[in-house]
Structure 1
Amino acid sequence: MVAEPLEWRKYDDAELPRVLEAALEAFAKHGYHGTSIRELASTAGLSVPGLYHHYPSKQDILVALLEDVMRDLVQRTAAALEEAGPSPAARFDAWVECLLRFHMFRTKHAFVTSSELRSLEGDNRDRIVALRDELQGMLDHAVEDGAAGGTFATPYPKAASRGVTVLCIGVSSWYRPDGPLSPEDLVHRHLVLARGVVNATE
């Protein structure tokens, strides 16, 4: 049976296991270090022993949450790039739109993933950073290919790629669904800005 293509633009209510949903709410409000296991258990509707039955430690909960968020974003981005095809310009636009929509519709997820990367320990941090680097690499390749082929005129492809990422991530700090910009308006505006960063020639 062939799997249905991932609808990367579509965002329904996020479905997380109840412990991870509780962690998302608590970490967004109090931070990882400001949240106790007892609070997590209570928010999830579990006893402390019941919580430990699912996850051995608070660190394991954080890793599971961040990995879930990052894998969702990586999968959405891969689907967007596949839909875009081989053109560096189309891949660039798809990557930018995908990251923008994620930061519009998964604001809390994006905030916790960004702010609590520092709370990961040892190999746990390496696991999440590897996913982040995989995501960034997708854009790096599109920009490098575009610069090599003349689609982008930036003399600094790697720096431009990082600049585009920062532009997209910043949306989560100010975008509001009831604000003056619709998602489509915001995507259109930021695609213009992002193309300017790489000096798009098309």
Structure 2
Amino acid sequence: MARTIGSHGPKTMEAIRKAGLRLIFEHGYAAMSLRQLAAEVGIQSGSLYNHISTKQELLFELIRDHINELLRQLDRALQGQERPADKLRAFTAFHVSYHMTRKREVFIANSELRSLEPKNYEEIVALRGAYERRLAEILSQGVAEGEFEVVDVQVATFAILALLTGLTTWYRPGGRLTKEAIVAAHEKLVLSSVAPGTTPNQAQAKRPLSRSAATSAKPERR
């Protein structure tokens, strides 16, 4: 790779972050060395310390900045939305669109969480919790206003996030479906999953008994 001009300044830091993101994504945090990172950027190993003090600091900042950007863009996507259904649709569209273009950041934020030191881990988990609460608040509002039917808000929050984030494992640009079609499909899945309707227990109660079931359900003669 061509040598970066100079070992100071924002351009070099940006090159370090991009190279670090790619190397951690491709090789894993534990396998990546600072010597390897410096070589990728095109500077001496010692020059890295003008920008980062440790490999742990780089990982922490990559994950922290990713989640902060996620929160910032989500709040912007939700602006002006009042009805819970509109908020949930906006949340879904944003989450899916963002994760289509940030595969490396998403992968590292999920898979390398275990590599963070305790203090850094706690801060990242708190930020993740703030993002999860955005969705939980939308679902809670929808339940309170009668737009959604949710058995448990926390379970629904985790289930929806797992569904939406799962596309990072299979989405490839230029595939059979357009980005718009993929977003629309996820919107339909999420909105239909919380739409008011008959619960399984109610459905079972209303289902007509079969002849054999009706016979066995009769009280015994005494």
Task: Give the alignment's TM-score, normalised by structure 2.
Answer: 0.80
Write the letter of the residue equivalent to 2:58.
I
Deviations 1:134-165 (A, max 9, x none): 11110000001101111101222221121110
Q: Is it true that 1:99 corresponds to 2:95 in the alignment?
A: yes
Partner Cα distance (1:89, 1:73) in 2: 21
The correspondence for 1:23, drawn from 17, 20, 23, is 20
Distance 2:113 2:73 in 1: 21
Name 1:76's counterpart in structure 2: 73
Normalising to structure 1: TM-score of the pair?
0.88
In 1: Cα distance, 2:49 partner to 2:189 partner = 47
Aligned equivalents of 2:99 and 2:155: distance in 1?
Answer: 21
Query: Quick one: distance in 1 between partners of 2:27 and 2:45?
Result: 19
Q: Whole-Å Cα distance in 2 between the matches of residues 129 and 18 of structure 1?
A: 27
Picking from 146, 158, 166, the partner of 1:170 is 166
**Aligned partner letter, 1:189:** A
CA 77–157 in structure 1, closer or farther in 2 if over 3 Å, else same: same
Alignment of 1:40-189 (within 5 A): 40-83=37-80, 85-189=81-185
Distance of 2:40 and 2:190 partners within structure 1: 40
Gaps of 5+ in 2: 1-12, 198-222
Q: Distance in 1 between matches of 2:94 and 2:86?
A: 12
Count of paired positions: 185
User: Relative contact order: is structure 1 or structure 2 higher (C-alpha 8 Å, sep ≥ 6)?
Assistant: 1
Compared CA separation, residues 51 and 157, structure 1 to 2 (3 A): same
Structure 1 unaligned regions, length at least 5: 1-15
The runs of 4+ residues in structure 1 deviating greater than 2 Å are: none
Post-superposition offset of 1:200: 5.2
Share of identical aligned residues, percent? 32
Corresponding position: 1:39 with 2:1? no
Q: What code does the residue aligned with 1:53 have? A: N
Q: In structure 2, do the counterparts of structure 1 residues 200 and 173 end up closer, same or farther at CA, with 3 Å as the change threshold? A: farther
CA distance in 2, matches of 1:100, 1:200: 24
Distance 1:200 1:182 in 2: 30
SS in 2 for 1:186: helix
Q: Specify the code of the residue in structure 1 equivalent to 2:156.
A: A
Match of 1:17, SS state, is helix
RMSD of equivalent CA atoms = 1.3
Q: Structure 1 residues 200, 120: CA separation in 2 closer, same or farther (over 3 Å shift)?
A: farther
